[in-house]
Amino acid sequence: MTNFTINGKDVTVDVEEDTPLLWVVRDELRLTGSKFGCGVAQCGACTMMVDGMPRRTCVTPVGSVNGAMIETIEGLEGPEAEAVTAAWQGLDVPQCGWCQSGQIVSATALLREVPKPTDDDIDAAMAGNICRCATYVRIRKAIHDAADAMEG
């Protein structure tokens, strides 16, 4: 049994403790916004916020998040998340869309730490998220737009 809070809701799951968190969230909790892309923490499609930090959940054993606070794309909240999502929609960032939940979670995590990121900050925070459609030009612009919007 593993207990954690996900998107503000307390849950208990009865799965093997070495099961990757990604598959527990998708298969057991049916929150399917977080995606599988590589299984080896190389692409970032599975990124969720675990205790406020972006985490590659395809390699995170569920047993290691007992008691943790988890946020997924479905429950991402707060001014940074709202600004990021609005900027993403404003620029029509997604193409195929598969990686975008992970991109948005990583971008939100960045803005929570660095409200006005430079291009270097963006490179450092986002280099772990692959977009095979190469929407990177718009991802970069959307992060700047979100930062500008929050600054008011």
Partner 1 sequence: MTIQSRRQFLATGAGLVIGLALPMQGRAQSGAAAVLTRDGVGPGTFAPNAFVRIAPDNTVTVICKHIEFGQGPFTGLATLVAEELDASWDQMRAESAPANDELYKNLFFGLQATGGSTAIANSYTQMRQAGAAARYMLVAAAAREWGVSAEEIIVEDGVITHAASGQAATFGDLAEAAAQQQVPVEPALKNPSEFKLIGTDRPKLDTVGKTDGTAMFTMDVYRDDMQTVVVRHPEVVGATVATFDDSEALKVKGVQAVRQIPQGIAVYATSTGAALKGRSLLTVEWDTSKAETRSSETIYADFSKAATRDAGVVVEEIGDSGAAIDGAETVHEVEFRFPYLAHAPMEPLDAVLEVRDGKAEMWMGAQFPGVDKGAVAQTLGIGGENVTLNVMLAGGSFGRRAQTSAQIGLEIAEIAKAAGGDGAWKLVWTREDDLTGGYYRPLTVHRMRAGLDADGSIVGWENTVVNQSIMLDTFMDQGNSEGKDPTSYEGSTKMPYDLPTIRVNWVRQQSPLSVLWWRSVGHSHTGYATEVFLDELLEMAGKDPVQGRLDLMKSEAGRDRAVLEKVAEIAGWDGTKVKGDRAYGVAVHESFNTYVAQIAEVSDVGGFPRVHKVWVAVDCGVAVNPNVIRAQIEGGVGYGLGTVLFNDLTLLEGGIVSQKNFDTYRMLRIHEMPEVDVAIINSVAEPTGVGEPGTPPIGPAVANAWRALTGQAVRHLPFETTGV
Write out the binding residues for partner 1, residues 47-86 only, by CB under 8 A: 72-74, 85
Which C-beta is closer to partner 1: that of 53 or that of 127?
A: 127
Work out how close the CB of 102 gets to partner 1 at its nearest, in angstroms, rounded to a whole number.
Answer: 10
Among 11, 19, 82, 149, binds partner 1 (CB under 8 A): 19
User: What does the alpha-carbon distance between residue 152 and residue 40 come to, in Å, rounded to a whole number?
Assistant: 39
Q: How many Cβ atoms are within 10 Å of 96's Cβ, its own excluded? A: 10
Work out how close the CB of 53 gets to partner 1 at its nearest, in angstroms, rounded to a whole number.
Answer: 19
Name 50's bridge partners: 53, 70
Work out how close the CB of 150 gets to partner 1 at its nearest, in angstroms, rounded to a whole number.
Answer: 17
Only segment of 49-57, 63-71, 92-100, 110-118 that touches partner 1 (CB under 8 A): 92-100
Rg (CA), the chain: 15
Quote helix, strand, coil % in the chain, to nearest 5.
45, 15, 40
Name 5's bridge partners: 10, 69
Which C-beta is closer to partner 1: that of 43 or that of 111?
A: 43
- Supply 97's token pair: 């869309």
Q: Which helix (H) or strand (E) holds 87?
A: helix 79-90
Looking at this protein, which amino acid is placed at residue 50? V
**Residues near partner 1, by CB under 8 A:** 15-16, 18-20, 23-24, 26-28, 30-40, 42-43, 45, 72-74, 85, 88-89, 92-101, 104, 122-123, 126-127, 129-140
